[in-house]
Amino acid sequence: METSAITVGIIGGTGDLGAGLARRLARAGFKVIIGSRNENGAQGAAEALKNLGETSGWGALQVSGANNPEAAIAADLVFVTVPFSAHGATLDSIHEAVQGKVVVDVTVPLVPPKVARVQLPEGGSAGQLAQAALGDNVRVVSAMQNVAAAHLNSDDMIDCDVLVTGNNKEARQQVIDILQVIEVRGFHAGMINNAAAAEALTSILININKQYKTHAGIRITGV
């Protein structure tokens, strides 16, 4: 994969999870646009990541910042990494910009303060809500809900796997291929309805993390 030929937009890219994804993707050579409701915040996060690349010896990272709609327009593929409370409004703001594209929804329907309790939305899952909101012309893929932001923001190998769901198998494979570049194993896990399973696992992992003082993930065995 020629990573420098692919522009990835990270919607909500100033949060811990979005920042970690931006870091991993930029270091792998992708062009990354960090999106935020606050354009100045996005640009500041982009500059900080470029500075980190220089001081860490990674070379010149191709990173820029923009507001969410502009990041979505300029990107070939978009990750949505916002809290569930901002999910609907964020999807509305990028609706036109992502038509015809692959959108990777990383959102987990956590409802504070009881984030360690599974609370799936009436629509079934955040992934299903995203597909319904964006329409059939957008290939929504749900992934990365079970990877802790702490792993993404470190220099260590990510010792967990990713369940990748979505109604379009080619779009799922494209996401799996991108994850492979950042040394994360992704697995086809079926249609977007199955996103509910990965999203629910996040609350279970939060429980495990609290109990064992760690950042647990999942592994697929026997493959």
Alpha helices in 2-159 (DSSP H): 16-27, 39-55, 68-74, 87-94, 126-134, 149-152
| Domain-located, residue 220 | no
Dist. CA 86–CA 101, nearest whole Å = 21
| Domain-located, residue 197 | yes
Count the domains in the chain.
1
156 near 23, Cβ under 8 Å? no
pLDDT digits (tens, 9 = 90+) for 26-69: 999 999 999 999 999 999 999 999 999 999 999 999 999 999 99
| Domain-located, residue 115 | yes
| Domain-located, residue 218 | no
pLDDT digits (tens, 9 = 90+) for 99-142: 999 999 999 999 999 999 999 999 999 999 999 999 999 999 99
**CATH number of the domain enclosing 138:** 3.40.50.720
| Domain-located, residue 111 | yes
**Residue span of the structural domain in which 43 resides:** 3-212
Per-residue pLDDT at 1: 87
Dist. CA 25–CA 158, nearest whole Å = 13
Look up residue 128 and give its two tokens.
């299903």
| Domain-located, residue 40 | yes
| Domain-located, residue 219 | no
Q: State the DSSP H helix or E strand holding residue 65, giving kind and residue range, or none if neither.
A: strand 63-67
N residues, the chain: 223
| Domain-located, residue 223 | no
Q: Examine the pLDDT at 161 and tell me if it is beyond 90.
A: yes
Q: Examine the pLDDT at 92 and tell me if it is beyond 90.
A: yes
Look up residue 137 and give its two tokens.
């012309």
